[in-house]
Amino acid sequence: MAQLHVAHKMHTYTVIPRVLYIRRWGLKRWSLAFGKSGRVSYDTHPPRPSITPTPPPLSLLALPTLIRSYLISAISATPILLTPSLWILSLLAHSKSPFWQVEHNPFLRYIVKKTIYAQFCAGETPSEVKRTATELRKTGYQGVVLNYAKELVFDKGAPIEQNKQDAAKDIEDWQRGLLKTVNLVDHGDFAALKFSGAGPSVVQRLIGKLPPTAAVSQAMKEVCDHAKNTGIKLLWDAEQNAVQPGIDQWTLDLQREYNHDGVAVVYGTYQAYAISTPQLLAQHLAIAHREGFTLGVKLVRGAYMGSDPRRLFWGTKAETDRVHDKIAEALIRKEWNEVLSPIEETDRQKPAFPNVSLVLATHNHESVRKAVAIRQEQRRTGQELIDLSYAQLMGMADDLGTELILAGRSSSGVTQAKTGSSKTFKYTAWGSVRECLTYLLRRAEENKGSLGRTRIGRLALGKELRRRLLSRL
């Protein structure tokens, strides 16, 4: 077979009919196989060069942010430092002693706010939140996914009981918090919301898979109406398995009402590590197609493995990765596949795919690169593009987020919003330092569970710091 070898100082290319093989230093060989349709498929992993732009992605970060990110990632990537840090943060979040409560100890409050709070949280006041959002946009992010950090924590095994007066007050406070959050974001941004924040009485209805009360329905309607009228999108977060089926039903009902004319106002969250997710998502897609509304999907790997029964999840991380990436591919292509398959087929024909909007909320580089490669293929061949956004937590995965920002800019330097490319957002929480401590503790525990990824991020941040230092010499 005729072959053409092309040498380059960074890569060697071997071209044969219909198949392109590329070998990169230190990486396994991967291939792109082009069939008659021009479709891309992967032997191992998609190409890192496909979203690696120049200049260095982390050059977009302000120097104070870069230094703080490096220091925090260095602690997170070092078990001997992370373990006592987690203990201290847990003490601050749960201690009954005034000395350890940040609202009573100005010194502790100052330390926390200037370090871990500044890294992961947007601010305590509307002006601080707006300033953080503005800084993220200056960096190049499309906007924010904003979550109100105040949470209700329930003891495991404790009865969920509440009198009517307390239940009504909790729902009022919850509605007020939702509206505050929605009012803090701008057109095109997302507000991330939790149903359980409405209190024990609402949690009880979710567990029983009961419809919302009139008060809860009215609160949801006001928030959704406001979001639709102002161009804001609502992400209803996933929660523990005991309440998740109820959340799925309430969210789907809201999508029926608000996701029309090709625009998704309401998004549900689907966790790829759950064995039930492919079938559940296929059911929701079938309903959306049959009833003619857009299905809003926030796709994550999952965050409740430590509290939910292990039998609910795939046996290995590799299985979860495969399911996540195959679901993402099916949604981006609007085509069924071996993981996300239709519930019903007639005459051996798969039913049509409904209109979907997708938020790919992941820090996994390979998952993002696969999605980017598919989008590049679709643009090259003139295929239909779904509404796709990427999201990472503020304070984490800055190397990936800034990489996506630069990849979304055209050669003339205009932003991704103007070129019609996929959009990149940062997920962050707002609230007082005290209200955010539980959220911050989860972020620290998440770093503990992904030390390998944290080390990679630290190395990238350190490399950028060295580059800036050497450029000044």
H or E element that contains 252: helix 244-258
Query: Residue 126 corresponds to which amino acid?
Result: P
pLDDT of residue 441: 85
Q: pLDDT for 6-64, tens place per residue?
A: 444 444 433 333 333 333 333 333 333 334 444 544 444 444 444 555 788 999 999 99
Q: pLDDT for 382-403, tens place per residue?
A: 999 999 999 999 999 999 999 9
Residue 310 CA to residue 322 CA, distance in Å, equals: 18
Distinct helix (H) and strand (E) counts, the chain: 16, 13
> Out of 6-20, 176-190, 243-257, 365-379, which region has the weakest mean confidence (pLDDT)?
6-20
Angle, alpha carbons 461-72-444 (nearest 5°): 125
Q: Place 420 in a pLDDT band, splitting at 50, 70 and 90.
A: very low
Q: Place 94 in a pLDDT band, splitting at 50, 70 and 90.
A: confident
Whole-model pTM: value is: 0.82
Tell me 190's DSSP state.
Answer: E
Where do the DSSP E strands lie in 35-109? none
pLDDT of residue 411: 32
What lies within 8 Å, CB to CB, of 397 at 6+ separation is: 363, 457
Angle of helix 433-448 versus helix 79-94 axis, rounded to 10? 150
Q: Count the residues in the chain.
A: 473
Coil vs helix vs strand at 435: helix
